Structure formats: C-alpha cells, structure tokens
Amino acid sequence: MTRWMSKSLLAVGILLAGCDGRRENAGEQADANAGVVSGEDTLASGPAETAGEAQDRAAESANAAIEANADAAEVRADAIRSTADREADALEERAKKVRRDAEQKADAAEDRADAIRGK
C-alpha cells in the first residue's frame, strides 16, 4: 500500500472517530434492551455501551499499529531496493572497467601477433 493510501485511510478513520463504533452501538442497544438506559437515543451511557466504546478504541489503536508496522515495512523494502540499485550500479561500472581493460590487453596481444607476422 502506498503512503498516500495509508494517509487516506488514516484520514477516513479520523473522520469516523466521531461516529459510534460497531461495538459501542451493540452495547448501546444491549443497555436499552436491558433497561439500563431509557432508550438507544439517550445521551446517557450504560455499562455495555461504555465497554463497547473502549473495545472500539482498542480496535482502532490496534489497526493504527498494524498500519504503522506495514508502513515501516514498506520503508524498509524501499531502502533494500535502493541499496541493491546502488550496489548493482557499482557492479555494472566495475564490469565496464573490466571489459575496457580486457579489450586493451586483447588489442595489445593482437598487435604483437601482427608484429610477429610482420604486418
């Protein structure tokens, strides 16, 4: 996943933070069904809703940690690729030098062969 996508997901998560989570909604309904609060639309929170809200926050934190770890892994992958590219470039330059040196030596050997033949 690209960094842009990660940041987009984070922004969506922040926007949704103001909304009740799945567990909080279930707790709110359970509190209303149990008669702990006067209804689902009340501003009062019962114990199940409060627990659900805490579970939602914990799940969001866990997801944020997963995303952070994934982002860190992508950064490490990019660093590995960059290092490999630099090493490959250096090897290619070394190979060019080896070929140039070999060509010069071969030319000199051919010149000696021509000299021996009297050309």
Give the span between the Cα atoms of 41 and 51, in whole angstroms: 18
Question: Are residues 56 and 89 in contact, defined by beta-carbon separation less than 8 angstroms?
Answer: no
In a domain, 6, yes or no: no
Is the overall model pTM greater than 0.85, yes or no? no
pLDDT at residue 11, as a whole number: 62
Per-residue tens of pLDDT for the chain, all 119 residues: 566 666 666 566 555 555 789 988 888 888 788 877 776 676 778 888 888 899 999 999 999 999 999 999 999 999 999 999 999 999 999 999 999 999 999 999 999 999 999 97
For 79-106, the three-class secondary structure string (H helix, E strand, C coil) is HHHHHHHHHHHHHHHHHHHHHHHHHHHH
In a domain, 71, yes or no: yes
Domain range for residue 52? Answer: 16-117
In a domain, 104, yes or no: yes
In a domain, 3, yes or no: no
Give the span between the Cα atoms of 45 and 51, in whole angstroms: 10
pLDDT at residue 49, as a whole number: 86
In a domain, 10, yes or no: no
The count of structural domains within the chain is 1
In a domain, 26, yes or no: yes
In a domain, 2, yes or no: no
In a domain, 61, yes or no: yes
